[in-house]
Structure 1
Amino acid sequence: MLVRGADAAMRWVTQLLGESATAGRERISEAELRDLVAANTRLDPEGRRLIDEVLGIGARHVRELMVPRTEVVFLDRGMAIAEAVRVVRDAPHSRFPVVDGSRDDVIGFVHLRDLLIRPDEEWAGTVGALAREVKRLPTTMRVLPALAQMRREGSHLAVVIDEYGGTAGVLTLEDLLEEVVGEIHDEYDAVPAAGAAPGEVDARLNLTDFAESAGFALPPGPYETVGGFVMAELGRLPEVGDAVDLVEGQLVVAAMDGRRVARVLLVPTKPAVPAVRAAAPAADELVPAVSGS
């Protein structure tokens, strides 16, 4: 029900805002739309919340939600299908970009089902023969137009292209929907470890999401993720145990994945304990007792 409500809200808001970063502003501003929502007496609190969240992500870009190329499993077009099955067996994703030698030359993508559900005689084939057409989005594209385009075209995966024409990462339709309606879990999603520290977060978390979860914002800079902030503050490649001091506490590198910060631990500043002052002695304790004559 929540997903259907968010989907309806998204269709309405994107229709009003248009499908480009500027088209919506020519028809109605965000402030005017918020006024319309506030004045609409037929919207229930849940509908207002959904629309408010949709408007809140309107200024965000796809680069903030994409899976960076360092985290993507790429398959070469010449790879044998049987070999590809071994490569993707433990991957956390079900769709994989297919490249022609270089990660910057993506020719399509394959779904896990394409690799597994094949007649036995076709297992000797190559991944390139199974590649489907893949959508491409620039890193600067806004989230709402990207969601509208991918829904309209039935695209579940898009390759995100940087300003130099290279592959910056990949984006799924699920990533975009989760930004609106929250995390979507299915029976195949991993359950968070019971012993995970409550202040431990994925270093790929973008600054906006970190601010929402931590309750304070990291300073802006030439980075978009928590891991990028830590690396910029250290001025070198981080190591496990490295810490960055904040007013609110410390960000400690908890795990590395190659040269990338994988997880960070937020250690909040302990509140100062006020010093306990000894009680002043009573007046009669200061004056020596005078014995009677």
Structure 2
Amino acid sequence: MDPMEPRQPVSPQAGPPQPPRRVARPLVWLLSKSTDLAVRLGGGDPQALREEITADRMRAMVAGNTQLTTEERALIEEVFAAGERPLREVLVPRTEVVFLDATLPLSTAARIAAATPHSRFPVCRDSHDEVIGFVHIRDLLVPEVADRSVPVGELVRPVLYLPASQLVLPVLSEMRREGHHLAIVMDEYGGTAGIVTLEDLVEELIGDIRDEYDVKDVQARRLRDGVVEVDGLLNLDDFAAETGIRLPVGPYETVAGHIMAVLGQVPAEGDWVEAGGSRLAVARMDGRRIERVRVSPNPPARGGVPPDGGETGSVETAAVGAATRDADTQDAASSEA
């Protein structure tokens, strides 16, 4: 993806000009107080147990307490889940991030930034794997910089780098404590896997925080006859929540990754796999990326063999759509010959 292109439909990359710190501070405080409340109601001392209480004991205390509301229980459970969820499951992938090249003149960078709903932009040199920092949109508009030909690389701020294996809750605490709002997530090879923002991590606990600057991102649309169309970047937990289909764990984090792993190739629109008694069809591609997936309650294809370790509601047959397409292509080639 060309970092100089202003038009890039992306998932929320960085919050609007209103700083997320004002949102995050009371929310994190609420999480802390809710946890302390659960400990007290369970007969414990939150100060004495802060370092030694286990997740299992805390869950037992919450389950046995009758004074917590449904919302409080859900909030505490999300804290537990965040403590076990790695950044690779919640990051905005690099293909969905608007990068600014360090050599861009300030005037060009400002035009690109103005065409997006984001406020913070990673700045890279040579490639997206060489992120040297980030700029805030206000940095690009400051009147003090009279020379609009100054390269944006001269205005970069330091950025936090984190491994994709780092867990959400510790990262949230670190970013809040050190005042970071954007972090670059690195893969195991030292390349850029994507980004996370403070707002992203808070949303993992309490759900979406939307305002007038956010682009409406429809992750799932309910169509007729039980058909659901979802974003290809939907992670496995969210996909299960939207469709009731639990895909097996594999070398992927999203429904698009699952489809590509099953097919064993980059799919075309119309290719499909079977899962949980439903058909997962590629509805729209964006280059080589699966952008939208249509889930329809069709019975599994006959003759499919469940993969080893499959579970109820998991994949039942594979690559049927792609195999049919390939066979048609071969037949057409034979006819022409």
- Using the size of structure 1 for normalisation, the TM-score is 0.80
Q: 2:125 is matched with which residue: 96, 100, 120?
A: 100
| Aligned partner letter, 2:192 | T
CA distance in 2, matches of 1:36, 1:121: 61
CA contact (8 A) 1:14 1:145 kept: no
Instruction: Evaluate the alpha carbon distance shift between residue 252 and residue 81 of structure 1 in structure 2; reply closer, same or farther with a 3 A threshold.
Output: same
**Identity over the aligned pairs, expressed in percent?**
50
CA contact (8 A) 2:221 2:229 kept: yes
Instruction: Evaluate the alpha carbon distance shift between residue 268 and residue 94 of structure 1 in structure 2; reply closer, same or farther with a 3 A threshold.
Output: farther
Corresponding residue number in structure 1 for 2:248: 219
Corresponding residue number in structure 2 for 1:48: 73
Instruction: Evaluate the alpha carbon distance shift between residue 5 and residue 100 of structure 1 in structure 2; reply closer, same or farther with a 3 A threshold.
Output: closer
1:254-293 alignment runs, 5 A limit: 254-269=283-298
Corresponding residue number in structure 2 for 1:234: 263
SS at match of 2:290: strand
Does residue 28 of structure 2 align to residue 7 of structure 1?
A: yes
| Aligned partner letter, 1:8 | W
Instruction: Evaluate the alpha carbon distance shift between residue 48 and residue 247 of structure 1 in structure 2; reply closer, same or farther with a 3 A threshold.
Output: closer
CA distance in 2, matches of 1:35, 1:52: 12
Instruction: Evaluate the alpha carbon distance shift between residue 5 and residue 115 of structure 1 in structure 2; reply closer, same or farther with a 3 A threshold.
Output: closer
| Aligned partner letter, 2:255 | V
Instruction: Evaluate the alpha carbon distance shift between residue 99 and residue 5 of structure 1 in structure 2; reply closer, same or farther with a 3 A threshold.
Output: closer
Displacement of 1:145 in angstroms is: 0.5
Displacement of 1:35 in angstroms is: 1.9
Does residue 229 of structure 2 align to residue 204 of structure 1?
A: no
Instruction: Evaluate the alpha carbon distance shift between residue 142 and residue 12 of structure 1 in structure 2; reply closer, same or farther with a 3 A threshold.
Output: farther
| Root-mean-square deviation over aligned CA pairs | 2.8
Displacement of 1:113 in angstroms is: 2.0
Does residue 168 of structure 2 align to residue 143 of structure 1?
A: yes
Q: Bigger shift: 112-121 or 47-56?
A: 112-121
Does residue 98 of structure 2 align to residue 63 of structure 1?
A: no
Which structure 1 residue ranges, 5 or more long, are not aligned? Answer: 17-23, 271-293
| Aligned partner letter, 1:10 | L
Corresponding residue number in structure 2 for 1:125: 150
Corresponding residue number in structure 2 for 1:134: 159
CA distance in 1, matches of 2:62, 2:116: 42
Corresponding residue number in structure 2 for 1:243: 272
CA contact (8 A) 1:135 1:158 kept: yes
Displacement of 1:111 in angstroms is: 1.4
| Aligned partner letter, 1:136 | Y
CA distance in 2, matches of 1:238, 1:92: 30
CA distance in 1, matches of 2:111, 2:120: 15
| Aligned partner letter, 1:114 | D
| Aligned partner letter, 1:123 | R
Does residue 205 of structure 2 align to residue 184 of structure 1?
A: no
CA contact (8 A) 2:245 2:276 kept: no
CA contact (8 A) 1:14 1:148 kept: no
Aligned residues: 262
Q: Bigger shift: 243-252 or 35-44?
A: 35-44
Instruction: Evaluate the alpha carbon distance shift between residue 46 and residue 149 of structure 1 in structure 2; reply closer, same or farther with a 3 A threshold.
Output: same
